[in-house]
Structures are given as C-alpha cells and as structure tokens.
C-alpha cells in the first residue's frame, strides 16, 4: 500500500479508537451507577456523568497517542494477536494509571469514583480487542479481501520483480497481492493489457531500474487509457532521500499516475455515506421489498431475484442483484432480439422488450427492480453514485480500450447519464462520455447533487422505462 493511503487508513483507525475509548468511559460510568462498589476505601456514591466530562478529552486524545507510541498504527496488515494484545494492554494500563494520577493531582478524588477509572481500563482493553478481532475477521473474509487488497502487476526485468515480490511477502503487509509479473524486454505491451483485463488489477507497479524509458512510457499510456493506477518506483534516481513529497511504497520513492479520484478523506466520507445510506434505506424499505417479492412470486413463475455477473471496480466481477422483471428464459431468448438492439456498441437495449413481465414493466418504470442493489452497496461492491455496472460479457466486447476507464471507480445505483434522460441515449460513446465526465469532476457535492436529482426522476418515472 502507498504511504499516503496507509497514513490515511491510520488516521481513520485513530478516530475509531478514540471513539472506543470515549465509549469505554461512558459505559464504565453507567455500570458503576448500578453496581454499588468502591475500591481503596472510596465512597460508594457515584456522581453524575457531567462531573466526568472533563476526562473525556483526556481519554479520546490520550488513548490513540499511547497506542501510537506502542507502534500500534505501524503494524503489518495482518499483525499477530500476541503483538496486538500486548500493545493494547500496555496502552490501556498506562492510560488508567495516568488518569489516576491526574485525578489525585487536581484533587478530584472525592467526586470522581476511582472504580470508574478501573472499570474504564478493563472495558477499553476489552472493546479494543473486540474491534481488532472484528477487523481481523473482516480482513480475512472474501469481501474484506476484495475491498482492502490491491491486486497489482509487477512490470520490469524478471530479476527485479522477483526480488520486489519477495520483499513484499517478507514485510507481511497483506495489502498488496501480486497477481502477475511481466518483463517488457521479453514480451510486448499488449501482454500488459491482457493481464490487466484478466486479473482486474488495481495498479501496475513499474520497476524502472533496468527498463527502457520508451517501454515505461508505453506502459503508462495503456494504463492511463484504461484508468488503472501506475506506481513507478523511482529508486533509479540514486537519491539518499528516505521520504518523498510524491509518495513512497515500502520506503521507496514512487511516482503515482492516476486518472481517477485518489484515496482521500472525501473518498472515505463517500464510503461511509454508501454504507450508512444503503443500511438506512434497506431498513426503511424492508417491508415494501417483501411485498414486491411476494407479488413477483405470485404473478410469475421463477425466482424473485435476478442474479448476474457484472463488472465492478477495475473490472472485478461481482454478483449483482435485481428484482426479476423478465421471464425466466430471458437470457436464452436474448439472441432472438439482437437485431432490434437500439444501442450502438456492446450494450443491449430494446424498447418494449417482450421478455418483460407485466409486473416487471411497472418495476422498471419506477426503478423498483434496482432496490436489491442496495445489498451490493452495503457489501462494498457498488456505490450509491457511480457508472452503472455492465454485464461481464458486454465489457469484454468494448471496441475502444479507453471505455474501460469507466471501471476505475465503483459502479453505482445512479449516475449522470441516468439523470440526463437515459431513455434518449442510443450512443454508447455518449454514455461513456458522461461517465468519464463524472469521474474527472468527482466531488462529494456532485454525488449529493446526483442523488437529489435522482429522486424526482424516479418518482416521475422519467429516469426509466
């Protein structure tokens, strides 16, 4: 993982840990109010929570600081449990003792229950351990690997790529997965394109030390065209600089070429919005979704949900969910309607498709069939806003490699072309142009604007047929 991305992730983790320490203090006080005991001869009467407010800044700032001192935020991607427990134990013990000293110095012993501080120490350690275990389970899961691991292709002489790969494995970071190696001195640039498509890579790492600059330029050009990041290890400059203002990859100065939004605080906020928004909408729409599922089951034989492999971030396939709006043999009958296709390019679209059921026509008109995709958003496979995901076979038929750049961000439930009158779009190139316009001008405000404009488009049925 790039140094900038690692620092961003560490800051997010520090914020989460600060909230955990604050929660531990709150729970400790609440437990003490119902659990009548005291230590060291203290009073059994506990003061109100307001008397503890001045301690909260100490714990939410001091806790992450002590963890950082222990090296907690500079660990491998998958650290050992023993190391984690030891670091958490020391940080919580130091913080508990420190709070006791502060209370004694400021003479708050008669107001602040010492048992609350001891309970806080135990609870903070337990909650941090639970948080780390949940993180470990998530990291090892299939969804966690899909979200957090970077699939990369190493480009450079075989000797250099083999050495770098062994260094990455030795570091035990667990955040970079080398899916292929390529020597441009032996294979053409087309081989790099094939590897990117085959493995849906997130980045291409170029080891330029013994590679011709012309080959590097070709590699950057093909990655730029497809929206895949390029991490150019710049240690061939022979400098003694340990850090760089550009970026660094495991301590090596690295030049990063990207055409999409970089991982930053706004991107983290977008991910939080996706999770919270999809969760809230699923809870609110749970009963309507049950009703729709029952109507589909009653009016048409076959499964309630339609599942199809779609191309996600960087082309990574995922199983997209929709309410079934067609007959069960729709895929088999697709070839019969190919002559009626109204879209240029690889996308298939037919007005008044005979495969659509009567209920399905209503579901599509008001975009009800898209509701189950909130599950894909909750799982991190899609976003609320982003280019619409296309079937894997349609992506494979792209006649212009530049169209693959729309895969450089997560697909979404809605995007620019949907609020721009998707019934009128017949040219796939125009569709891609709107998607790339979204990618090149992305901001949180643009996402909010698209979401707001999507609501009237859905209500008035102007966004779909």
Q: Which two tokens stand for residue 136?
A: 């470990």
Residue 223: half-sphere exposure toward Cβ, Cα within 13 Å? 29
Task: From residue 241, give the alpha-carbon distance in Å to each of 168, 236, 256.
Answer: 21, 12, 17
Task: From residue 453, give the alpha-carbon distance in Å to each of 141, 375, 438.
Answer: 36, 22, 15
- Please indicate, yes or no, whether the overall pTM of this predicted structure exceeds 0.75: no
Domain 149-257, CATH number (from 3.40.50.11740, 3.40.50.720, 1.10.260.40, 3.50.50.60): 3.40.50.720
Instruction: Give pLDDT tens digits along the chain (465 positions).
Output: 677 777 788 888 899 999 999 999 999 888 888 776 665 555 555 677 777 888 899 999 999 999 988 888 877 656 677 888 888 999 999 999 988 888 877 765 456 777 888 889 999 999 999 998 888 888 777 777 777 777 888 888 888 888 888 877 666 556 778 888 888 878 888 888 888 888 888 888 888 765 567 778 788 888 888 888 888 876 655 544 333 456 777 777 777 777 778 777 888 899 999 999 999 999 999 999 999 999 999 998 889 999 999 999 988 899 999 999 998 888 788 777 877 777 777 888 877 788 889 999 999 888 899 999 999 999 999 999 999 999 998 898 888 878 888 998 999 999 887 777 555 667 788 888 889 989 988 999 999 999 998 888 887 766 555
- Tell me the domain boundaries of the chain: 3-140, 149-257, 265-459
Distance between CA atoms of residues 116 and 29, nearest Å? 6
Supply φ then ψ for residue 395, to 5 degrees.
Answer: -65, -35
Q: Which two tokens stand for residue 464?
A: 């779909």
């Amino acid at each position: 993982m790039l140094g900038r991305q690692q620092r961003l992730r560490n800051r997010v983790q520090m914020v989460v840990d600060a909230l955990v320490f604050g929660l531990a203090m709150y729970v400790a006080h609440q437990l003490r109010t119902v659990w009548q005991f005291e230590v060291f001869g203290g009073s059994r009467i506990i003061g109100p929570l307001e008397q503890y407010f001045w301690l909260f800044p100490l714990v939410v700032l001091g806790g992450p600081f002590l963890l950082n001192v222990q090296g907690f935020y500079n660990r491998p991607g998958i650290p050992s449990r023993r190391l984690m427990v030891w670091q958490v134990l020391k940080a919580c013990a130091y913080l508990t003792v420190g709070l006791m000293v502060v209370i004694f110095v400021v003479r708050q012993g008669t107001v602040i229950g010492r048992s609350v501080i001891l309970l806080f120490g135990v609870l903070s350690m337990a909650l941090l351990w639970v948080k780390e275990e949940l993180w470990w389970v998530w990291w090892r899961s299939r969804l966690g690997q899909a979200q957090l691991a970077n699939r990369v292709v190493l480009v450079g002489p075989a000797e250099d790529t083999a050495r770098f790969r062994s260094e990455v494995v030795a570091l035990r970071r667990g955040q970079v997965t080398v899916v292929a190696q390529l020597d441009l001195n032996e294979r053409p640039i087309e081989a790099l394109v094939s590897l990117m498509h085959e493995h849906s890579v997130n980045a291409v790492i170029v080891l330029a030390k013994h590679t011709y600059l012309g080959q590097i330029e070709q590699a950057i050009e093909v990655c730029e065209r497809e929206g895949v990041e390029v991490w150019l290890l710049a240690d061939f400059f022979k400098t003694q600089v340990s850090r760089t203002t550009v970026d660094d990859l495991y301590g090596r100065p690295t030049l990063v070429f990207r055409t999409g939004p970089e991982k930053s605080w706004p991107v983290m906020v977008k991910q939080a919005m996706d999770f919270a928004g999809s969760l809230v909408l699923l809870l609110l729409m749970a009963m309507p979704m049950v009703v729709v599922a029952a109507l589909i089951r009653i009016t048409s034989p076959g499964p309630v949900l339609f599942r199809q492999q779609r191309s996600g971030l960087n082309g990574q396939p995922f199983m997209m969910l929709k309410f079934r709006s067609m007959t069960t043999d729709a895929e088999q009958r697709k070839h019969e309607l190919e002559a009626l296709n109204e879209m240029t390019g690889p996308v298939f679209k037919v007005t008044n498709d005979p495969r659509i059921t009567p209920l399905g026509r209503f579901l599509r008109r008001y975009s009800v069939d898209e509701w189950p995709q909130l599950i894909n958003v909750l799982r991190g496979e899609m976003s609320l806003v982003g280019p619409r995901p296309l079937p894997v076979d349609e992506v494979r038929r792209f006649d212009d490699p530049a169209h693959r750049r729309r895969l450089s961000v997560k697909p979404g439930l809605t995007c620019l072309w949907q609020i721009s009158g998707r019934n009128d779009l017949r040219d796939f190139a125009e569709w891609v142009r709107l998607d790339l316009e979204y990618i090149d001008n992305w901001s949180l405000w643009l996402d909010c604007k698209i979401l707001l404009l999507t609501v009237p488009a859905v209500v008035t049925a102007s966004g779909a047929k």
